Amino acid sequence: MELEQKLDRLFAAYRSAFPDPAPSAAFTPGIWNKIEARRRQTFVMSWTRKLMVASASLCFVFGMFLITPFPNGASPLATYLDFLDDEHDREVVAELHQIPGQTQLDEAGQPILVEEE
């Protein structure tokens, strides 16, 4: 019985703290404005969630791309020099990249200085 009295007092305090809104002509439009504001917020949040899922999926795909082995032993992390070293002899690379003032390799594989032209 004592709990019921405490509950009744709690409800009475709540009613006095939050009185019923007075009915007016702007009541229904005000409710609809609040509903529309929540719908817009929900719409933005749904697009935000979709964007987050798409970016997470893209990160997963890129991660799988970097993890999977390549067919001929090539690596996506290999540098340009690694590629040239794997594909060509040192002499061919030296001929392709003759820059004046830099050392190149002769037939014996010894470094030589290329003269400026």
Instruction: Give Cα 54 distance to the centre of its chain.
Output: 8
Rg of the Cα trace of the chain? Answer: 38
pLDDT (tens, 9 = 90+) of the chain, 117 residues, equals 788 999 999 999 998 898 777 777 888 888 888 888 887 777 777 888 899 999 999 999 998 887 766 666 666 666 777 766 666 566 665 666 665 555 666 777 676 665 655
How many whole angstroms separate alpha carbon 83 and alpha carbon 111? 21
Quick one: DSSP state of residue 97?
A: T
Residues pairing with 111 in the sheet = 105
How many whole angstroms separate alpha carbon 99 and alpha carbon 114? 7
Whether the pTM exceeds 0.75: the reply is no
